[in-house]
Chains A and B, each alone.
Chain A
């Protein structure tokens, strides 16, 4: 048996009862991990922003070689993620597994400086993705373990906000440096490496060594058994995996939505990169408020209903409105969708499995979503070609509404499920 609490604060919330602020400070763990993510995202997104130019202009890669490297990014991380989850649970040392992941990506940055030719760069890019796959679930598990259950949504919101600030700063820093030093790709790579190393140092030196199993032992609770794969088949986790898998199958890649916007007419292609900036901006502004809302009214409810924002984005991208309205509306809705799902799903998954399987539970949910979305994008490509953007988007939007309604029947079961402390 696990000690369980209801996953929703009652009106006699502890903080409210004591007369203190109803918004207790977010834990140091969340802030430190958020800043680590911020630094790392500045690093990876500054490289992302210049890599296509660097590969084609300086390294001189042609379409096929460039495509090969681009494709590597798909899929690699899904497999590794479950491995990282297992390692973290089996050793009860999420901090050091996450450290390994961040470290691997930082080391990959060093080699990127010296890599020349398609094979070398492909190896570096793969190592970077493996690092990301390893670190994500242990990091989310640490946030989950160190935060009281009733504030989890907000904690993840704060983390994702910091993370997204880094992602938005990265390209700005990269292009600022390129203006300072013409064709200074190596300068961008070196500065990116410095950010990555700062992130790794921050995690290693100041990242708290959160260990869920040991803490429960200290609390004189019954010692949890070691992690077993069977823990992932927990009855409470299964509906979440099914719901997020089905919704994921109707989540087509951002790329398609942006292409639909371009197809909308009148949008200059040079604005394309700004679509990402717009979505990120909406995401970082909404991550915390929506996270808090999810703590109040139920996280599974926000996760499921948040997909309606995606429906809105699909429709907005193809409706015959003015171009400006379509663009702003689509990006705002897409940012809302991410704010309602990305951190929220980690917040839910971590509490639906026994403590000793927390990282693996989060990794399993994230992997299901990632794989479902990959399939969705592949299938949507076909639909787009057969029906054209407007009809294809409309079809997926209609299917997604049906899926949300169906998933809504599971909400009470998910939000009402007994949670692990």
Chain B
């Protein structure tokens, strides 16, 4: 091939690529806009109808004009009409008188925030977050909030992964700062590992909480104390704990295929005895912090394999042989507000 032929061939390839990518961008753009203009498939209800009774608050993930918006359904009718709050969140945790809402503000300089909202879903406080939202939880009476984010470099080839988990008073006020600064106690000894990461807080009350500490390739279930500023390991191989409403049991993820691969399943530990129950027929590969529907039932969000961005909330009894059931379609990040 002469140089001229090669140049022509290259130009032809560039034209094909530009046209191909351009058509794809435009088609995808109009498709997304059309989808985002559609009404949600689920029946809708006014906020007032749902907000007064026991309810489940969650992030709506249907590809429609309410995508990403926080919605509520009545606790006794999860598949019934949903009320949209008009507030969009990536992760949400709610209490009767407020909610913590983690959002990503995309741009050349992407920023992340924890918006705190009152019972009417109006903003009362905003905290800048140092990375991509991962988890948020409120204490049972709603006075404390805990957030976990990925502290990200801009590039997936820079440093290893890192999390930042912080606790503060809801709506502004006292801040306990990054939990990495707390004293870590493993096997009864204070230790100071450099590579520690902490994520997935669940509050017992306004002083005690459980969380995950990852260090040296092992994850620990730790019990935290805000006053003493300590994290004490109580069990190994447990990630993203969630305490039951009666405070007797903790559900978390365990890697049932340790080694290179990660296959998560849910386990439930009795806090009094330390006995673990693995939900053998529960979801495999679940990758979220679970929530409790009641003292016997666990809730969790699961992505749909064939629809990127769409998730469903499932429920499963906290028993070894329980079978999961689809509870709320097109939903994520559920909290039960009794």
List of B residues within 8 angstroms of A385 by Cβ:
192, 194
Segment touching A, from B4-12, B137-145, B170-178: B4-12
List of A residues within 8 angstroms of B163 by Cβ:
63
Number of A-B residue pairs, CB cutoff 8 Å, is 174
In the complex, the chain A residue whose C-beta lies closest to that of B68 is A183
A66 to B162, CA, bound (A): 10
Q: Does B20 contact A (CB under 8 A)?
A: yes
Q: Does B36 contact A (CB under 8 A)?
A: yes
Assuming A187-B24, A190-B24, A255-B153, is B14 touching A198 (CB within 8 A)? yes
The answer, among B9, B17, B239, for a CB contact under 8 Å with A197, is B17
List of B residues within 8 angstroms of A172 by Cβ:
108
A325 to B157, CA, bound (A): 28
Count residues of A near B (Cβ-Cβ below 8 Å). 71
Interface digits, A165-190 against B, CB 8 Å rule (1 contact, 0 not)? 00000011001011111111111001
Within 338-381 of A, Cβ neighbours of B (below 8 Å) are at 377, 381
Segment touching A, from B49-57, B223-231, B269-277, B301-309: B301-309
A49 to B110, CA, bound (A): 10
List of A residues within 8 angstroms of B14 by Cβ:
198, 201
In the complex, the chain B residue whose C-beta lies closest to that of A172 is B108
A274 to B153, CA, bound (A): 10
Q: Does A53 contact B (CB under 8 A)?
A: yes
Task: Find out whether the CB atom of A48 lies under 8 angstroms from the CB atom of B155.
Answer: yes
Q: Does B189 contact A (CB under 8 A)?
A: no
Interface digits, A43-70 against B, CB 8 Å rule (1 contact, 0 not)? 0010111011100111111111111111
Task: Find out whether the CB atom of A381 lies under 8 angstroms from the CB atom of B156.
Answer: no
A93 to B163, CA, bound (A): 45
A276 to chain B, nearest CB (A): 5
List of A residues within 8 angstroms of B130 by Cβ:
269
Q: Does B325 contact A (CB under 8 A)?
A: no
Q: Does B160 contact A (CB under 8 A)?
A: yes
Interface digits, B257-270 against A, CB 8 Å rule (1 contact, 0 not)? 00001100000000
Q: Does A194 contact B (CB under 8 A)?
A: yes
Interface digits, B152-168 against A, CB 8 Å rule (1 contact, 0 not)? 11111111110100000
Task: Find out whether the CB atom of A205 lies under 8 angstroms from the CB atom of B287.
Answer: no
In the complex, the chain A residue whose C-beta lies closest to that of B239 is A64
Within 283-308 of B, Cβ neighbours of A (below 8 Å) are at 285, 287-288, 303, 305, 308
Task: Find out whether the CB atom of B150 lies under 8 angstroms from the CB atom of A184.
Answer: no
A385 to B195, CA, bound (A): 10
Q: Does B44 contact A (CB under 8 A)?
A: no
A193 to B154, CA, bound (A): 20
List of B residues within 8 angstroms of A271 by Cβ:
109
Most buried by B among A68, A178, A201, A268: A201
In the complex, the chain B residue whose C-beta lies closest to that of A69 is B156
In the complex, the chain A residue whose C-beta lies closest to that of B264 is A62
Interface digits, A67-110 against B, CB 8 Å rule (1 contact, 0 not)? 11111011000000000000000000000000000000000000
A272 to B111, CA, bound (A): 10
Task: Find out whether the CB atom of B17 lies under 8 angstroms from the CB atom of A73.
Answer: no
Q: Does B199 contact A (CB under 8 A)?
A: yes
Task: Find out whether the CB atom of B285 lies under 8 angstroms from the CB atom of A117.
Answer: yes
Task: Find out whether the CB atom of A181 lies under 8 angstroms from the CB atom of B32.
Answer: yes
Interface digits, B99-135 against A, CB 8 Å rule (1 contact, 0 not)? 0000010111111100000000000000011111110
Q: Does B330 contact A (CB under 8 A)?
A: no
Q: Does B219 contact A (CB under 8 A)?
A: yes
A99 to chain B, nearest CB (A): 14
Task: Find out whether the CB atom of B32 lies under 8 angstroms from the CB atom of A206.
Answer: no
Q: Does A312 contact B (CB under 8 A)?
A: no
List of A residues within 8 angstroms of B240 by Cβ:
62
Assuming A171-B108, A177-B25, A190-B21, is B160 touching A61 (CB within 8 A)? no
In the complex, the chain A residue whose C-beta lies closest to that of B197 is A63
Assuming A48-B157, A62-B134, A119-B261, is B10 touching A190 (CB within 8 A)? no
A198 to B20, CA, bound (A): 12
Task: Find out whether the CB atom of A273 lies under 8 angstroms from the CB atom of B154.
Answer: yes
A381 to chain B, nearest CB (A): 5
In the complex, the chain B residue whose C-beta lies closest to that of A276 is B154
Q: Does B78 contact A (CB under 8 A)?
A: no
B223 to chain A, nearest CB (A): 20
Q: Does B90 contact A (CB under 8 A)?
A: yes
Q: Does B13 contact A (CB under 8 A)?
A: yes
Task: Find out whether the CB atom of B109 lies under 8 angstroms from the CB atom of A191.
Answer: no
Q: Does B321 contact A (CB under 8 A)?
A: no
A218 to chain B, nearest CB (A): 20
Assuming A171-B108, A182-B32, A268-B128, is B262 touching A68 (CB within 8 A)? yes
Task: Find out whether the CB atom of B10 lies under 8 angstroms from the CB atom of A183.
Answer: no
Assuming A57-B90, A62-B239, A187-B25, is B10 touching A70 (CB within 8 A)? no
Task: Find out whether the CB atom of A70 lies under 8 angstroms from the CB atom of B104.
Answer: no
Q: Does A253 contact B (CB under 8 A)?
A: yes
Task: Find out whether the CB atom of B157 lies under 8 angstroms from the CB atom of A197.
Answer: no
Interface digits, A248-281 against B, CB 8 Å rule (1 contact, 0 not)? 0000011100100000000011111110100000
List of B residues within 8 angstroms of A26 by Cβ:
none
Task: Find out whether the CB atom of B150 lies under 8 angstroms from the CB atom of A52.
Answer: yes
A60 to B192, CA, bound (A): 30
In the complex, the chain B residue whose C-beta lies closest to that of A77 is B157
Task: Find out whether the CB atom of A183 lies under 8 angstroms from the CB atom of B25.
Answer: no
Q: Does A202 contact B (CB under 8 A)?
A: yes
The answer, among B18, B32, B308, for a CB contact under 8 Å with A194, is B18
Q: Does A321 contact B (CB under 8 A)?
A: no
Q: Does A31 contact B (CB under 8 A)?
A: no
Q: Does A393 contact B (CB under 8 A)?
A: no
In the complex, the chain A residue whose C-beta lies closest to that of B165 is A63
Q: List 28 A-B contacts (CB under 8 A).
A: A48-B154, A51-B156, A59-B303, A60-B311, A63-B150, A64-B214, A71-B161, A73-B157, A172-B108, A175-B108, A179-B106, A183-B32, A183-B67, A184-B29, A185-B308, A186-B308, A187-B29, A191-B21, A197-B17, A198-B14, A206-B3, A206-B7, A206-B10, A254-B158, A269-B129, A270-B128, A273-B110, A381-B195
Enumerate the 6 nearest inter-chain pairs by beta-carbon distance, A residue then B residue, closest first: A67-B161, A270-B111, A194-B21, A73-B157, A273-B154, A255-B159
- Known contacts A184-B28, A194-B21; can you find 9 more A-B pairs with CB under 8 A? A49-B155, A52-B156, A71-B160, A178-B106, A183-B67, A201-B14, A202-B10, A269-B129, A273-B110
